Chain A
Amino acid sequence: MSATTTIAPATAAARAEGISKFYGTGDATIAALKDVSVSLDAGMFTAIMGPSGSGKSTLLHMLAGLDRPTSGEVFLGDTQITSLNDKALTLLRRDQIGFIFQSFNLLPTMSAAENIVLPIRIAGRKPDDIWVKSIVDKLGLADRLSHRPTELSGGQQQRVAAARALASRPQIVFADEPTGALDSASGTELLGFLRKAVKELGQTVVMVTHDPTAASYADRVLFLADGHVVDEMFEPTADAVLDFMKHLGA
């Protein structure tokens, strides 16, 4: 298997075309991504794996419009986002993309409920209460809504972040090691929810992870090494992923 995934624009929620990312200049230049092309299908749960420093986070940031590639193009749906200006890109993140970060997902001054509808409020819109309530119920957060982040456990905080990511019905949700700081029970809960969001709500989710078990919740796993997409696997199991990772030398 090689990195020649066929590009299918019609069903791709996001895709990268030949993107490279270099950090630094001169001798100190680091190539975090080297001519990577990927297509992420709508309605699919994709995991990105690879050894530390292989460029997973970098790829995710490029796809999510948090940073710009040195060369190449990124599309979100049919929109080429690489040349958008900061304002357009910001509005795109606000309206079309959901985020779950590894930590520090929430504003400490706001309650869980306020954090969940943050992007919608930033846009100056009214949240869809029924929709938000259904997500909150699915995540079991109903009795935690008035709490401040400091009054929530790490798992609860990540669930609030997940609720926020889905609240505005984004085209795609990006998650960078969302379970990285959680114990396995909390992690399992969150992954279960993401899986459900894909299966039941048709949400597109892209997740970077180190954990083969987490990857096994996905429909497809992309393997990165040294700034390249080196392989992929569909319907992964934890054991298969683990084997492959060992093979990669991570």
Chain B
Amino acid sequence: MFTATLRGMLAHKVRLALTVASIALGVAFLAGTLVLTDTMRLAFDQLFGKVSAGTDAVVRAEAAYSQSEGISTSRAPIPASVLTQVRQADGVRTAEGSVSGYALLTDNSGRAVLTSGGAPTMGYSLPADPALRGDVKLLTGAAPSGAHQVAIDATSAEEHHIALGSTIKVLFRGPTQEFTVVGTVGFGGEKNLGGTTGAYFDSATAQQVLGAPGLFDSISVSADPGVAPADLAQKINTVLPDGAEAVTGATVVKESADAVNKDLKVVTVMFMIFAGIALFVGSFIIWNTFTMTITQRSREIALLRAIGATRRQVNRSLVLEALLLGLVASAVGIGLGLLVAKGLNLLMGAVGFSLPSTSMQVEPRTIVVSLLVGTVVTVLAALVPAHRATKVLPVEALREAVPGAGNPTKKRVISGAVVTVIGLTGLFMTLYADLSMKLFGPSLLAIIVGVLMLLPAAARPLASLIGVPLRMRGLPGELARQNAMRNPRRTSSTAAALMVGLTLVVSMGVFASSLKASFGDIIGDSTNAALFVTPSSSQGPGFSPEAIKAVQGVSGVDKVSASGWGQARFNGADSSYSAVDPATATAGLNLRLSAGSVSDLGTTGIVVAQSAATTHGWKVGDSIGTEFAETGKHTMKIVGIYDSKGWISDDFVISIAAQTAAAGPQLINSGLVTLLPGADRSTVQKAITAALADHPDAKVLDRKGFEKEAGGFIDKLLTFVTVMLLLAVIIALLGIVNTLVLSVFERTRELGLLRAVGMTRAQVRAMVRWESVVISLIGALSGAALGIGLGLALSQALADEGIKAISIPGLQVALYVVLAAVAGVLAAVGPARSAAKVDVLKAVVAD
């Protein structure tokens, strides 16, 4: 049986190649994702490990809870006096305070040195003792000393031609200052720290410009020879005041790595979803291949059964075939995965998420998981067809079987309809009744699954409808239409793969388009601003409050409403909050308070969104327990409830003063500028631009410019998602090729007959081509329709967040459909050629 299996597989090389390719592509995506994330993780780990090498223990403030934001937990600073105590502790060779914070470099002409993808721009204290510097190495020049010297990362120096000895401005949270560049810094072999920029100062200067005099973020300690880090930490702990703790350097490295892993997990999950989609689409092709193979081989199988093979042997032989196929394809997929990893990395870079890299990491886990998933998916997809094969009766060996044209069973249609209706009901309930939004995703999924189940029943009428114009193309067109209709199950599962791909692409397109269309309304509704002050790099972390001060001084400007952002625990749940200045907030922001007043915020007040207030039954005057990582628990009193989410999309709004008190000074994210009566907007904009020349971390935009920038970002993301989904579409097209190849093979006699009675080769090719177009259009049109529906549902679901406008990118959708038809033509090239080559005598000579 086994050799029969092998021989059977090798006999149909094209089918084998196409099926292998369809699984391999899905597996490649999976393997590529794993390789890429492993590589990124290792790159980060190496970076952190090296940077803090040589630090045996770290003294820091205890965090109220570990709230990870980026690579480190937010903590309160510790007083410099602790340093003196630490130095006196047993086993301490040397200890130094370290400070880090926001620092934006500028080049020789005062332009900001921006990072791509919003990577942080940081300033650090450079330890005086080289042992505490870890892998932070001076590459050229000397260590900074005194209030006017800085060392910068080598990448910034090289790319922006900042020579040693030149004087540059560095922007901080506080006032901008000028420094002489005295050195460049590298990190192990790297010239920058994971795409960030770095400015290094001596300890006292760092305290001054990055933090506050008399305070350190943490204290780095190196041990006397022979003292183990754990002992050292323990010894230091005994001398520390309350609220401070000492941990080993390794602990800190591990914490950073864990935090990065958590962030990377988001990336991994996102890629995994795309890989899952690709595999799902691939499984349709496997299903199809096996179904067709079995139909074609039913005589062979019947013969085997007639000469005594048991059902189980037949079944086992087919499952074995699937297993082999899955293994081979997965192995191929792992190889392709390396290419995919490289491609994904480039793609991420192209949309602005540049990541540190090291040599590609292929962990054994990647190989095992990829092999397992690829094989399991293949075998699962083959199980039902294989089971069906066991039902082939021995007598069928003797019958002249016309390849099956099974219609979908009533049962399947009914269950498909039921699933669809459940999905639709769930969708409407979540959107318009108050069913939990948690059921929104499952409802969408139910609709997709339901439609997939219904597609076989719809395939025949759809093919008939789509094929109507083909009638004008004479008999080849008519035959193409009939061929697409004759086996609705096959047609539908071929088209289904394309449908899934297009559904996702189109729904994303509709969603993005609605988002963009709503953007103008959101801004118009929720702000009164004439001009917008934003970070220079659109995904940047924010800008210094100094920029706001500069804008406030421009003539024609009435008020500038600054807002910031942060994370804390409210009522026990992690959430983001916005911070506003109560004095200016109402000028630029249109919060539509239904109760209370923003001016009552003070340092203990909080304004909550209507939706959150409704959920929790909060009203003005109630208290909410909040907790900040830096300072622990606070109680805040609700002073207002606001209705209009938009510019501010968080559930909680506090004052900037409260934020500074609870979490330390932070950057500003945006400033909404209102004008004095009679002031000309473009004149004021020019004046603000001039005023911001000294604050290159911020820029000013009018509303159009702001919308365009936001739209550009949405487009970038959309492109990214579309490119990722393209793989599923490519797999779907391979599926069409596969189906056509098998159909042509199956219809050899018919083709021979048609050729015998006078169909020309060109006509035969046209026939196959049109059939392909019909199949791809079934997939494309149903995918487009479903995608539009889901896109609208998605937009509706986020109506609360301000997506009020609905926009269907008609041209874009039409383009996708046309492209699908063109792809159908391309998919048919090979099969059409082999159909035209069919030997005329094949039909005539009975076998």
A67 to B755, CA, bound (A): 12
- Residue of A67, A99, A109, A150 with highest tally of chain B CB at under 10 A: A109
Residues of A within 8 A of B760 (CB): 86-87, 90-91
Counting CB contacts under 8 A, is A250 at the interface?
no
A61 within 8 Å of B by Cβ?
yes
Q: Does B330 contact A (CB under 8 A)?
A: no
Please choose the segment from A44-52, A117-125, A216-224 that sits at the chain B interface, where 4 or more of its residues have CB less than 8 A away: A117-125
- A40 to nearest B CB, angstroms? 19
Contact A101 B758, beta carbon cutoff 8 Å: no
- Assess whether A108 is interfacial by the CB under 8 Å rule: yes
Q: Which residue of A lies closest to B840 (CB)?
A: A66
Q: Size band of the B side of the interface?
A: 20 to 34
A96 → B minimal CB distance (Å): 9
Given A104-B843, A121-B474, A150-B402 in contact, is the A93-B761 Cβ separation under 8 Å? Answer: no
Complex: A106 Cα to B760 Cα, angstroms:
18
Once the chains bind, are A61 and B844 in contact (CB under 8 Å)?
Answer: yes
User: Whole-angstrom distance from the CB of B504 to the nearest CB of chain A?
Assistant: 34
Extra contacts besides A61-B841, A87-B762, A122-B757 (9): CB < 8 Å: A61-B844, A93-B757, A94-B758, A99-B757, A101-B756, A104-B846, A122-B758, A124-B474, A164-B757
CA distance A93 to B754 in the complex (A): 11
A166 to B846 Cα, complex, angstroms:
22
Choose from A67, A95, A122 the contact partner of B754 (Cβ within 8 Å): A122
| Residues of chain B from 744 to 766 with CB closer than 8 A to chain A in the complex | 749-750, 753-763
Q: Does A186 reach chain B (CB closer than 8 Å)?
A: no
Bits for A86-114, please: 1 = Cβ < 8 Å to B, else 0.
11001101110001011111111110000
A104 to B757, CA, bound (A): 13
Q: Can you offer 22 A-B residue contacts whose CB atoms are under 8 A?
A: A66-B756, A66-B840, A66-B844, A67-B840, A67-B841, A90-B755, A94-B757, A99-B757, A101-B753, A101-B846, A103-B846, A107-B750, A108-B402, A108-B750, A109-B479, A109-B482, A109-B483, A118-B475, A118-B754, A121-B474, A122-B759, A164-B757
Q: Output the nearest chain A residue to B750 by Cβ-Cβ distance.
A: A107
Q: Which 8 A-B pairs have the closest CB atoms?
A: A94-B758, A121-B475, A109-B482, A119-B757, A90-B760, A119-B758, A124-B474, A93-B758
Is there a chain B Cβ closer than 8 Å to A176's Cβ? yes
Residues of A within 8 A of B402 (CB): 108, 150
Contacts of A94 in B (CB 8 A): 757-759
Q: A57 near B: Cβ within 8 Å?
A: yes
Q: Is B387 located at the chain interface by the 8 A CB criterion?
A: no
For the complex formed, measure the closest distance between the CB of A58 and the CB atoms of chain B, giving whole angstroms: 10
Hey, which chain A residues are within 8 Å of B759, CB to CB? Answer: 90, 94, 122
| Residues of chain B whose beta carbon lies under 8 Å from any beta carbon of chain A | 400, 402, 474-475, 478-479, 482-483, 486, 749-750, 753-763, 840-841, 843-846
Q: Are A101 and B844 in contact (CB under 8 A)?
A: yes
Which residues of chain A are within 8 angstroms of B762 by Cβ–Cβ distance? 87
Min distance, Cβ A168 to any Cβ of chain B, angstroms: 9
Given contacts A109-B483, A124-B474, are A118 and B750 in contact (CB under 8 A)?
no
A66: contacting residue among B479, B482, B841, CB under 8 A: B841
Complex Cα distance A121/B754, Å?
11
A61 CA / B842 CA spacing, docked (Å) = 12
Q: Identify which of B475, B483, B844 gathers the most chain A CB atoms within 10 Å of its CB.
A: B844
Residues on the B chain within 8 Å of A109, using CB: 479, 482-483, 486
User: Which A residues lie at the B interface, using CB under 8 A?
Assistant: 57, 61, 66-67, 86-87, 90-91, 93-95, 99, 101-110, 118-119, 121-124, 150, 164, 176
- A107 to chain B: closest residue by CB: B750
- The residues of B that contact A86 with a CB separation of less than 8 Å are 760-761
- Alpha-carbon separation in the docked complex, A124 to B482 (Å): 17
In the bound complex, residues from chain B placing their C-beta under 8 Å from that of A118 are 475, 754, 757
When the two chains form their complex, are residues A124 and B845 in contact, meaning their CB atoms are under 8 A apart? no
- Which residues of A sit under 8 angstroms from B749, Cβ to Cβ? 104
**CB <8 Å contact, B761 and A90:** yes
Enumerate chain B residues within 8 angstroms of A150, measured Cβ to Cβ.
Answer: 402
A121–B843 CA distance with the chains assembled, in angstroms: 20
A222 to B295, CA, bound (A): 43
Is the beta-carbon distance between A122 and B475 smaller than 8 angstroms? yes
A151 to chain B, nearest CB (A): 12
The answer to whether A57 and B761 touch (CB under 8 A), given A66-B756, A104-B749, A109-B483, is no
In the complex the two chains form, what is the Cα distance from A121 to B761 in whole Å?
16
> Smallest CB-CB separation from B764: which chain A residue?
A90
Please measure, in the bound complex, the distance between the C-alpha atom of A164 and the C-alpha atom of B400, giving whole angstroms: 22
Residues of A within 8 A of B750 (CB): 107-108
Residues of A within 8 A of B474 (CB): 121-122, 124
A123 touches B841 (CB 8 A): no
The answer for the CA separation of A104 and B747 in the assembled complex, in Å, is: 12
Interface centre among A94, A99, A104 (most CB of B within 10 A): A104
How long is the Cα–Cα vector from A105 to B402 in the complex, in angstroms? 13
Residues of B with C-beta under 8 A to A121: 474-475, 478
Q: Does the CB pair A90–B475 fall under 8 Å?
A: no
The one of A61, A99, A110, A119 in contact with B482, judged by C-beta atoms closer than 8 angstroms, is A110
CB distance from A95 to the nearest CB of B (A): 7
Shortest Cβ gap from B114 to chain A (Å) = 64
Query: Closest approach, in angstroms, between the C-beta of B477 and any C-beta of chain A?
Result: 11
Q: A107 to B749, alpha carbons, bound, how many Å?
A: 9
- What is the bound-complex CA distance between A119 and B755, given in angstroms? 10
Closest to A61 in B: B841
B412 to chain A, nearest CB (A): 23
* B844 x A122 contact (CB < 8 A): no
Which of B478, B750, B757, B845 has most chain A Cβ within 10 Å? B757
Is A90 touching B846 in the complex (CB atoms < 8 A)? no
Q: Which residues of B contact A122 (CB under 8 A)?
A: 474-475, 754, 757-759, 763
CA separation between A121 and B474, bound complex, in Å? 7
Q: Is the CB of B753 within 8 A of A107?
A: yes
Q: How far is the CA of A90 from the CA of B754 in the complex (A)?
A: 10
Bound-complex Cα distance A93 to B844 (A): 14
Residues of A contacting B475 with CB < 8 Å?
118, 121-122, 124
Alpha-carbon distance between A66 and B754 when the two chains are bound, in angstroms: 12
Residues of B with C-beta under 8 A to A67: 840-841
Using Cβ atoms and an 8 Å threshold, which residues of chain B touch A102? 846
The distance from the CB of A210 to the nearest CB of chain B, in whole angstroms, is 14
Which residues of the other chain, B, contact A104 by a CB distance below 8 angstroms?
749, 753, 843, 846
Q: How far is the CA of A176 from the CA of B843 in the complex (A)?
A: 12
* Contact of A87 with B761 at beta-carbon distance under 8 Å, contacts A109-B486, A122-B475 already known: yes
Least Cβ–Cβ distance between B323 and chain A, in angstroms: 35
Rounded to whole angstroms, the CA-CA distance of A176 and B758 in the bound complex is 17
A30 to chain B, nearest CB (A): 15
Q: Which residues of A contact B763 (CB under 8 A)?
A: 122
Determine whether the beta carbon of B758 is less than 8 Å from that of A91.
yes
Across-interface contacts of A110 in B (CB, < 8 A): 482
A109 to B486, CA, bound (A): 7
* Contact between chains at A93 and B846 (CB < 8 Å): no
Complex-state Cα separation, A101 to B757, whole angstroms: 11
**In the complex, are the beta carbons of B761 and A123 less than 8 A apart?**
no
Distance to closest chain B CB from A214 (angstroms): 17
Specify the chain B residue showing the minimal Cβ separation from A109.
B482
What distance in Å separates the Cβ of B748 from its nearest Cβ neighbour in chain A?
A: 11
Most buried by A among B754, B758, B841, B843: B758
> B400 CB to closest chain A CB, in angstroms?
8
| B483 x A90 contact (CB < 8 A) | no
Residues in A whose Cβ lies below 8 Å from that of B400: 103
Shortest beta-carbon distance from B309 to chain A in Å: 28
Give the distance to chain A from B299, nearest Cβ to Cβ, in Å.
15
Min CB distance B346 to A, Å, is 48
The interface residues of chain B lying within 8 Å CB-to-CB of A106 are 753
Residue in chain B with minimal CB distance to A106: B753
Residue of A90, A91, A107 with most chain B CB atoms under a 10 A cut-off: A90
Chain A residue nearest to B759 in the complex (CB): A122
Distance between A164 CB and nearest chain B CB, rounded to angstroms: 7
Complex: A154 Cα to B845 Cα, angstroms? 17
CA distance A123 to B754 in the complex (A): 12
Residue of B nearest to A96 (CB): B758
